[in-house]
Structure 1
Amino acid sequence: MRKLYVIGIGAGDPDQVTMQAVKAMRRAEAFFVIGKGAEKQELVDVRTAILAEHVDGPHRVIEITDPPRDRTPDDYAGVVRDWHERRAELLETAFDQVEGAGAILVWGDPALYDSTLRMIEHVLSRGHTSFDYEVIPGVTSIAALAARHRMVLHRIGEPVHVTTGRRLREDGLGPGSTVVMLDGDCSFTAIPGPDIHIWWAAYLGMPDETLIEGNLREVEQEIITRRTELRAAKGWIMDVYLLRAN
C-alpha cells in the first residue's frame, strides 16, 4: 500500500462527511473497517452506507475483527498496550493486501479519543511495511452535541475541559465547562451539588438520536433509565455530555 487516508466521518450523520473526506474516499481503492462484534454491526453498516452514497468507483471493504480486551483491568495501561500490539499485527496483515491507496473511516475525528493514528504509527514502527498517510479531520461528537442542543460549549472567556468518565470520577469537574466522553458508568452521578446543568446525547446523527437537558439532579435518573433502555435494545451505546456549574 503506497498511501493511506485516515478519514474522520463525523458523529453518525452521513451528511456530516466533509467534501475533503469525500475527495479522499474517491481516491481510495480499499477501505479497512475494524469490526466490533455482532452487537455493533450498525457501526459497520453506517460506514457502508457512507461509501455507497459518496464513492461511485470500484472499491472493496476489508473488515478486521477487533481483538478483545479486558474492560475493567487492574493494569489499564498494560492491557491497552497489549491490545494495541495485537491490533497493529492485524492492520499490518490487512494493509499488505492493498497495492494502491487505502482508507480507514474513523468515527468522529481521528485526533480525539481514537487510537487509529497510534495504531498506524505502531504498524510503521514494526518496520515490516512502509507507506505514507494523510489525516482528514471530521466533525466531533462534541461539535455535534453543541449543535443539536443549540448551545455554546463555554461561557464568555471560560475554558472547556474534555475528559473521560473514569477521569471525571477521579478528578471531578474541570474549570469552566466539562465535556465527558467514553463514560460507561454514568459518572455524572458522582458529581455533588444541586446547581449543575447537563446536556446529554446518545447516538448523535443516527436514527435513534436521543437528547436530554436540564438540572443534573432533576434529570440524572431519566438519563440513566433511558440509557439503560437504549443499550439493552441495541447492544451498544455511544453518548457524550457537557456539565456546567450554574
Structure 2
Amino acid sequence: MIHVIGIGCHPGQLTAEAREVLAACDYVIAADKGSAEDGDDPLLALRRAICAEAGIPLVAVPDPSRDRDDPADYDAAVLDWHDARAAAYRAVIEQRPGTVGFLVWGDPAFYDSTIRVVDRLGMAYDVVPGISALSLLAARHRVVLHEVGRPVLVTTGRRLADEVAAGHDNLVVMLDGSLRASGLDGDWDIWWGANLGSAHEELVAGRLGDVVERIGAARARAKERDGWVMDTYLLRRGNSQS
C-alpha cells in the first residue's frame, strides 16, 4: 500500500489526517535533488525532519536527470522523467516491502508529479490532501483568487504568455522562477509570495510594473535564507471586473 501525503508548505502545516496516515507507514521514499554543485537538497532535509519527528525511516532516492531547458517535445521529456522516477522507486519497494509514504510539498493536486509516478507502480494507493500554496497565497494577501462570478486560471510560467494571448486576465501562476509576467504588456496587478508558510516567507503586492524589482530582491532573500525558492502569484489585469 502507498500513501501519497500532502504536507503543506511547512512542517507545522501537517493536518491531523496527514500525521495519522504518516504514522501508519513503514517508511517514506523521497527524491534527492541535491547535486555536487549545490550540495544537499534542503527540501529533502525538511522531509527528513518530518519523518524523524514521526519516527518513520526515510529512504532517499537520487532523482533522475531531466531536461529543464524547455525542450522541443516538453511533454515527452516529462513522461520520460516520470518513467525513470517510477523505475527508481519500484527498485526500492521490491527490496523493502511494507506500507510506503510519499510526502508531497503543498497539495498533490497542483503541479506535482507524484500521483502520476505512483500510478505507474501498479500498486494500491490513496491520497491525503495538503494545504496548497494557492490557499496560502490567498490567505496571506487576504484576497479571493477569483472575482465575483468569474473564473481563475491556474497555469505555469512557461504557458503564461499563451494564456494571456488567449484572453485570460485572472491567473494564478506557479513554477515561474523567471517571473515571466514582467514581460507582459498592459496594466496588471500582482499578489506574489515565496516560501509561503516558512519562517522566511516573502510577500509583495502592487502594480506589476511598480514591484518587479521588489519581487526580484525578495526572491533573492528567500533563496539566501532557506536555500530554495518556491513562489507563486495571482496576476489580474487592472481593468478587469471586481
Same fold (TM over 0.5): yes
Q: CA deviation at 1:46?
A: 1.4
Which runs of structure 2 are paired with 1:179-194 in the superposition (5 Å)?
179-194=172-187
Deviates more, 1:22-31 or 1:232-241: 232-241
What is the root-mean-square deviation in Å for CA atoms of aligned residues? 1.9
- Structure 1: which 5+ runs fail to align? 125-130
- Equivalent positions of 1:155-166 (< 5 A) are 155-166=147-158
The answer to whether the Cα contact below 8 Å between 2:8 and 2:132 also exists between their aligned partners in 1 is: yes
Q: Is the 8 A contact 1:108 1:141 kept in 2?
A: yes
Shift of 1:96: 1.5
Alignment of 1:1-246 (within 5 A): 3-11=1-9, 13-38=10-35, 39=38, 41-53=41-53, 55-56=54-55, 59-72=56-69, 73-124=71-122, 131-172=123-164, 175=168, 177-194=170-187, 196-231=188-223, 236-246=228-238
* 3-state SS of 1:7 partner: strand
Which runs of 5 or more residues in structure 2 are unaligned? none
Q: Deviations over 1:5-27 (max 9, x none)?
A: 0000012x222111111110010
Taking the aligned partners of 1:51 and 1:63, their CA distance within structure 2 comes to: 12
Cα distance, 1:109 vs. partner? 1.0
* Letter paired with 1:151: V
SS at match of 1:123: coil
1:143-200 residue CA offsets vs partner (Å, 9 max, x unmatched): 0111111211122111111000011022217645210001122111122113x11010
Conservation of the 8 A alpha-carbon contact between 2:8 and 2:105:
yes
Aligned-partner Cα distance in 1 for 2:48–2:225: 22
2:105 partner amino acid = W
**Alignment length (residue pairs):** 233
2: distance between equivalents of 1:4 and 1:224? 39
Deviates more, 1:69-78 or 1:31-40: 31-40
Paired amino acid for 1:67? P
TM-score w.r.t. structure 1 length?
Answer: 0.88
**Offset, 1:211:** 0.6
SS in 2 for 1:67: coil
Equivalent residues of 1:159, 1:177 under 8 A apart: yes
CA distance in 2, matches of 1:30, 1:175: 43
Deviations 1:22-53 (A, max 9, x none): 11001011011111115462201211222334
Q: Distance in 2 between matches of 1:155 and 1:171?
A: 18
Name the SS for the 1:108 alignment partner: coil
Whichever residue aligns with residue 200 of structure 1, its letter is W
Where in structure 1 do 4 or more consecutive aligned residues deviate above 4 Å?
232-235
In the superposition, the TM-score normalised over structure 2's length comes to 0.89
2:150 counterpart letter in structure 1: E
Name the amino acid aligned to 1:61. Answer: L
Letter of the aligned partner of 2:217 in structure 1? T
Cα distance in 2 for partners of 1:136, 1:161 equals: 24
Letter in 1 for 2:62: T
Identical positions, percent: 42
Separation in structure 2 between the aligned mates of residue 157 and residue 208 of structure 1, nearest angstrom: 34
